[in-house]
Amino acid sequence: MLVQIYEEHGDGTNGIAISAPGVIDSETGFMYNAGTIFCVSNINIVEILENRCHVPVTVENDAKSAALAEVWRGALSDCKNAIAVICGTAVGGAVICDRKVLRGKNFMAGEFSYILTETNDCMNPQKVLAERNGVPGLIRLVAERKKLPAEELDGEKIFSMANCGDEEALECLRIFCNHLAVQITNYQFIFDPERFAIGGGISVQPLFLQMIKEELKKINRVYPHNVPIPEVTTCKYFNDSNLIGALYVHLQEKEEKYSMEKVKAFMELVNGRREAQYLREMFCR
């Protein structure tokens, strides 16, 4: 699909920047897996696309891309050490140390989806953070409580119900946010970052951040000593952070020098989309 798009619209293209799910070695372009996209594994996507398209290609994990966008010009731009938590189909993330992504030996640092959430049922593959705090987990929770088919619900509908005062939806959302707040508290003690940035589609909902902060305060009361409450905010670029971050990775990796003419041409291409507004803010100030 990407190659087809390039062949149709690639005239004058200087490079391709990819944000993708999964465990990725961004330096070599090797994708060990693509998360829930099981048809992609153990391929060098950069090598394949550069051979086909003959332009520089970069790839980065989507959550890490989102975190880098926020470090670059977003909610983490004034932080040296921070953590991004991205709630989407699963739970992506990134640990930022000295303004760089911490990758780990196996490129698994920040892969929060794999974290086990139950000590008495840890052999159950459903008891991982991806299942509990991905948006499908919230949908299942509400569907079970309201006795509705999960297919009739999505994140937007659930927040609409909650914002209208639906008690069952509010209760489920509270449980969902409490689970996430517990993990954020744990990350605070492991890494002690300056700030957490929450991203993903549901991060645009003010109620989501509000409940997370409320649950963090409740959890903080457990401790007998004065310990910090994690500072949490939303990603400035919300669900588009990964796209902005992919561009940042490409500019850094390939040391691209952009001109205002190229920036304006790109903004015309994406005119009417949120990305155009973000790029205008970043490049034209």
pLDDT tens digits for range 36-75: 888 899 999 999 999 998 899 999 999 999 999 999 999 9
Give the pTM.
0.86
What is the Cβ-side half-sphere exposure of residue 226, based on CA atoms within 13 angstroms?
0
Give Cα separations from 138 to 155, 187, 197, 242, 244 (angstroms): 8, 21, 20, 22, 27
Q: pLDDT at position 283, please?
A: 59
Sheet bearing 41-44, strands edge to edge: 24-25, 30-33, 41-44
**Placement of tokens 């998360």 in the chain:** 35
Specify the pLDDT at position 37. 86
Going 111 to 34 to 6 to 272, the CA torsion angle's sign is negative
| Nearest partner of 155 among 179, 232, 163, judged by Cα | 163
Q: Is 218 helix (H, G, I), strand (E, B) or coil?
A: helix
Dist CA 24 CA 62 (whole Å):
10
Q: What is the pLDDT of residues 256-272, one digit of tens each?
A: 545 555 556 665 666 66
Structure tokens at 46: 């950069």
Residue with tokens 């990725």: 24
**If you write DSSP's letter for every residue of 258-273 in order, what string do you get?**
--HHHHHHHHHHTTTS
User: CA 34 to CA 9: how far, in whole Å?
Assistant: 25
Please give the pLDDT value at position 260: 52
Q: Which of 200, 246, 251 has its CA nearest to residue 59? A: 246
Long-range contacts of 267-273 (CB under 8 A, 24+ apart): none
The length of the chain in residues reads 285
Check residue 257 and give its pLDDT. Answer: 47
Share in percent of the chain as helix, strand, coil (round to 5): 50, 15, 35
Q: What is the pLDDT of residues 220-231, one digit of tens each?
A: 999 999 999 999
Q: Write out pLDDT tens, residues 158-193.
A: 999 999 999 999 999 999 999 999 999 999 999 999
pLDDT 10s digits, 1-27? 556 665 666 566 788 999 999 999 999
Q: Is 216 exposed, middle or buried (0-12, 13-18, 19+ CB in 10 A)?
A: buried
The per-residue pLDDT for range 98-155, each reduced to its tens digit, is 999 999 999 999 999 999 998 887 777 788 999 999 999 999 999 999 999 999 999 9
What is residue 36's predicted lDDT score, i.e. its pLDDT? 81
Strands of 90-158, DSSP E = 91-97, 100-102
Q: Give me the percent of the chain exceeding a pLDDT of 90.
A: 75
Structure tokens at 245: 């971050």
